[in-house]
């Protein structure tokens, strides 16, 4: 591969290649199995270098030259805080130059998660699909929304003596935003539900969560905001934080981004400051407090999969919820393999699987509706 082809390849991987460059690279790959193998090697090194360069500002083109010359470079990652430091993998997919029948998996490549859709369950049990928007007039309150801006509640009259509840249900593969009657903003992740009063009472504001949500709570010193999940109760007055309480996970995690909260679980109460997380172990019920990089736990609301030394088993669980698929591990050793990085959540499932394959010794195979996870 000469320097011109190297530049063509880098431009393809970065999504900047012209048709002429893509054609030239494809023709070179098709010339021999050696060229194809070399191309695959470059793709794998590119993804590894992409992560390294995010932390160490490596000159990618110099790195390619070193690779061609046979020299190796060892890099040490340092961790940066905040979403701004996360590596946004370019949408210029590595398989641009590959023939269509050479895809790693048998997936069509168009499977995407994150559809803005949800079901609203009203107080009387009736259900309304929110995929195409809605307007519900309840006499004393009105809920309006669409698939882009989400659902917004507004008080229009005197609430009934007994509170009436609505439930927002977001399916696997979906995500939805909502503004409650007090102005609190809620972002609901895939496979989650939130039960809440249409209008909050005068003494407190309480909601019930299954799954994962991110909240920006409207300040109100006279009415604490309380989030109930199966194993923890979180109390705030005005703050932003994440609650992950999926029943099939190993733990419930409450991660504080700003403000302050108290978490009651496992027979103790923990007070959190920004950058801390309360973790409630589902097996033992024990509640512990940890200092964390909040970006790894809240970046989903920004459209990212952001992970730091995350076991592949946990990463695949997140992919299952986001793309509504099912993984099966052939060995526990593969399940414990860890990954660090960040990828846009609007990429296709095919992109995500290829990305994992190109940065590890993991391989995916389809067995009917199940995606099997193998060692190389």
Which DSSP string do the residues of 172-201 spell out, in sequence order?
A: TTEEEEEE-TTS-EEEE-TTEEEEEESS--
Nearest residue to 303 via CA among 108, 100, 89: 89
When pLDDT is averaged across residues 244-250 and rounded to a whole number, the result is 95
Q: Distance (Å, rounded) from C-alpha 265 to C-alpha 120?
A: 29
Nearby residues of 286 by Cβ (< 8 Å), 6 or more positions away: 266, 280
Tell me the fold of 316-375: Phage tail protein beta-alpha-beta fold (3.55.50)
pLDDT digits (tens, 9 = 90+) for 180-212: 999 999 999 999 999 999 999 988 999 999 999
pLDDT of 365 over the 60 cut? yes
Res 303: pLDDT: 85
More confident residue, 149 or 308: 308
Nearby residues of 70 by Cβ (< 8 Å), 6 or more positions away: none
> Among positive and negative, which fits the CA dihedral 243, 245, 249, 252?
positive
Characterize 192-211 residue by residue with b for buried, 16 or more Cβ atoms within 10 angstroms of its Cβ, and e for exposed: bbbbbbbbbeeeebbbbbbb
Task: Evaluate whether 265 touches 280 at the Cβ level (below 8 Å).
Answer: yes
Of the listed ranges 95-99, 145-149, 303-307, 317-321, the one predicted with least confidence: 95-99
- Domain assignments of the chain as residue spans, ordered by start: 3-102, 115-298, 316-375
Neighbouring-strand partners of residue 177 = 187
Q: Indicate the pLDDT class of residue 47, thresholds 50, 70 and 90.
A: low
pLDDT of 138 over the 80 cut? yes
Q: Indicate the pLDDT class of residue 75, thresholds 50, 70 and 90.
A: very low
The torsion angle over the Cα atoms of residues 295, 298, 303 and 309, rounded to 10 degrees, is: 50
When pLDDT is averaged across residues 334-349 and rounded to a whole number, the result is 84
Torsions phi, psi of 375, nearest 5?
A: -75, 160
- The total number of residues shown for the chain amounts to 376
Q: Indicate the pLDDT class of residue 357, thresholds 50, 70 and 90.
A: confident
Q: Does 1.10.287.610 match the CATH number of domain 115-298?
A: no
Distances (CA, A) of 181 to 160, 170, 301: 15, 19, 21
Q: Distance (Å, rounded) from C-alpha 30 to C-alpha 52?
A: 30
What is the pairing mode between strands 174-179 and 165-170? unpaired
Q: Indicate the pLDDT class of residue 84, thresholds 50, 70 and 90.
A: very low
Task: Evaluate whether 145 touches 151 at the Cβ level (below 8 Å).
Answer: yes
pLDDT of 11 over the 90 cut? no
First to last CA, the chain: 26
pLDDT digits (tens, 9 = 90+) for 26-45: 788 778 888 877 776 676 56
Q: Indicate the pLDDT class of residue 17, thresholds 50, 70 and 90.
A: low
State the average pLDDT for the chain: 80
Q: Of the ranges 68-72, 100-104, 276-280, which is most confident?
A: 276-280
More confident residue, 302 or 88: 302
Res 13: pLDDT: 62
């Amino acid at each position: 591969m000469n320097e011109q082809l190297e530049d063509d390849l880098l431009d393809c991987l970065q999504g900047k290649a012209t048709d002429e460059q893509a054609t030239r690279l494809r023709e070179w790959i098709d010339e021999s199995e050696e060229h194809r193998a070399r191309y695959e090697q470059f793709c794998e090194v590119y993804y590894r270098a992409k992560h390294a360069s995010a932390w160490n500002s490596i000159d990618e083109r110099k790195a390619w030259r070193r690779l061609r010359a046979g020299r190796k470079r060892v890099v040490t990652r340092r961790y940066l805080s905040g979403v701004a430091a996360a590596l946004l993998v370019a949408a210029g997919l590595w398989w641009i130059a590959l023939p269509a029948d050479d895809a790693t998996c048998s997936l069509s490549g168009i499977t995407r998660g994150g559809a803005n859709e949800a079901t609203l369950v009203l107080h009387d049990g009736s259900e309304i699909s929110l995929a195409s928007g809605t307007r519900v007039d309840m006499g004393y309150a009105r809920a309006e929304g669409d698939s882009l801006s989400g659902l917004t509640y507004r008080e229009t009259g005197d609430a009934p003596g007994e509170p009436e509840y609505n439930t927002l249900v977001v399916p696997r593969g979906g995500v939805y935003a909502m503004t409650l009657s007090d102005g609190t903003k809620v972002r609901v992740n895939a496979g989650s539900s939130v039960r809440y009063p249409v209008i909050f009472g005068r003494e407190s504001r309480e909601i019930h969560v299954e799954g994962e949500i991110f909240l920006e709570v409207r300040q109100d010193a006279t009415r604490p905001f309380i989030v109930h999940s199966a194993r923890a109760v979180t109390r705030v007055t005005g703050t932003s934080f994440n609650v992950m309480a999926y029943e099939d996970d190993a733990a419930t995690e409450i991660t504080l981004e700003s403000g302050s909260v108290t978490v009651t679980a496992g027979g103790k109460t923990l007070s959190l400051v920004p950058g801390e997380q309360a973790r409630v172990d589902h097996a033992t019920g024990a509640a512990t407090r940890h200092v964390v990089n909040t970006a790894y736990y809240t970046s989903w609301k920004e459209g990212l999969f952001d992970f730091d030394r995350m076991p592949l088993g946990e990463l695949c669980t997140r992919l299952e919820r986001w793309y509504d698929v099912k993984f099966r591990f052939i060995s526990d050793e593969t399940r414990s393999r860890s990954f660090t990085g960040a990828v846009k959540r609007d990429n296709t499932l095919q992109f995500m699987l290829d990305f994992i394959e190109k940065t590890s010794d993991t391989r995916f195979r389809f067995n009917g509706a199940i995606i099997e996870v193998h060692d190389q």
